[in-house]
Amino acid sequence: MLRRSRTVWLSGRLWRPRLVFWLGALAVGLISVAFAELADAAQRAFAGLRASSLSDPAAMLVPPLGFALSSYLALRFFPNSGGSGIPQAIAARHLESEEDRSLLLSLRIAIGKILLTLLGLLSGASIGREGPTVQVGAAIMLAAGRLGGMAQARGLILAGSAAGIAAAFNTPLAGIVFAIEEMGRAYEARTNGLVISAVVLAGLASLSLTGNYTYFGRSDAAVTSAAGWSLVIACGVAGGALGALFSASALALLRRIRRWTRGSAQRLVLVAAACGLIVALLGFLSGGSTYGTGYEEARSAIEGTPLPNFFFAEKFATGLASMVSGIPGGIFAPSLAVGAGLGSSLGLLFAAGPALGATLGMAGYFAGVVQAPMTAFVIILEMTGNQANVVPVMLTALIGFGTARLVSGAPLYHSLSRNFVADVLRHRRTQNEGATR
């Protein structure tokens, strides 16, 4: 009995898949850190370009040209790399065959996703790297599972997605909650071990390079008065409604763009260029504050510096234009910046302070956009390290979610994922028809 047990535990067939899986999770963490550093460098390069001797008209040409180039490269060399990346990961979980999943999640697409997201940031796009990290993480874990002979494709996609969120924000709990609430609406208990171990290993890889940090620093702002509780309700209702408006507007515009372009690469590139021009105009009018992820603006609001009253509206429009352009890039960071701007303005209005308002505004708006309240409040609490605000942030996220459901019942990521499923099935049908001729 003992000899048999020793033989089993020393078997290469038992340990090879595990080792490959663990290495894949570590790779997700390391690549996430490198991606973050490169994204920051791309934003600094764009800021330096704007601050150089270029005239304003010349600088305003950078976004439309960069958007057009990113769109062309995505269509020509990296199909299905456009947009956030989260809808592609969700869609891949609904596909049965490995060949179909590889159209949405592959190492080639992951490389393109990183490069083109960096190009978008270098062009001033209001995008983030967190959504793309989900697609990259899922692609890496799927490839690792294939190499190690693991058959749990859906679990691997879930694990890679969770590891991507955890490593991107240094928020391990948010990664797990995101996997349960947003990625896997039909969550399977047997994937628990895969998700948790991937998050832990990716987090360890990230921590070894960046140390333990909170994404937005630490906030001590707390609800201590009636004005604070009034702000909770205001941020929940206003944030949820504005977040739902963003999602509904994005879905409506994307439907119209799909109908108008009908697979025409030239028209898709033209749409991207037009969106880039809108981003450039808004960037000029806002003095450059709407370019990029919005991380610096959100962090300053969390630390107590009020943002301009209409920053949230300008950032909202810039983020919407960047998203519907179709270029690779996520909406997590820009959404948090919009929420911080909205909350900052409401915090001053309710005399509760911009720091508290920014924290609550992020929770309400983010819950409204993604319609995932647990992910919203967990990620905000982990990113701000504010343990005194647990109940208010939770309540704001729940109010934001409830308000968003009243305004628009269509969850953004899952609605977009259906387009990718339909495209893959259409591609397979076309191939089958060609093979039978």
To the question of domain 226-412 being in CATH 1.10.3080.10, the answer is yes
Q: Is the predicted pLDDT of residue 360 greater than 80, yes or no?
A: yes
> Per-residue pLDDT tens for 150-159?
767 778 888 8
Q: Is the predicted pLDDT of residue 361 greater than 90, yes or no?
A: yes
Query: Distance between CA 386 and CA 220 in Å, rounded?
Result: 6
Q: Is the predicted pLDDT of residue 247 greater than 90, yes or no?
A: yes
What integer is the mean pLDDT of 143-172?
Answer: 80
Q: What is the pTM of this model?
A: 0.90
> Per-residue pLDDT tens for 107-131?
999 999 999 999 999 999 999 998 8
In the CATH scheme, what architecture does the domain 17-210 have? Orthogonal Bundle (1.10)
Higher pLDDT, 93 or 1: 93
Average pLDDT over the chain reads 85
Percent of the chain's residues with pLDDT above 70: 86
| Residue 53: predicted pLDDT | 53
Per-domain boundaries in the chain = 17-210, 226-412
Q: For residue 423, what pLDDT band results from cuts at 50, 70 and 90?
A: confident
Q: Is the predicted pLDDT of residue 222 greater than 90, yes or no?
A: no
> Which of 241, 228, 214, 221 is CA-nearest to residue 342?
241
| Neighbouring residues of 3: CB distance < 8 A, sequence distance ≥ 6 | none
Q: For residue 2, what pLDDT band results from cuts at 50, 70 and 90?
A: very low
What integer is the mean pLDDT of 35-52?
Answer: 89
Q: Is the predicted pLDDT of residue 15 greater than 70, yes or no?
A: no
Domains 17-210 and 226-412 alike in fold: yes
Q: For residue 318, what pLDDT band results from cuts at 50, 70 and 90?
A: very high
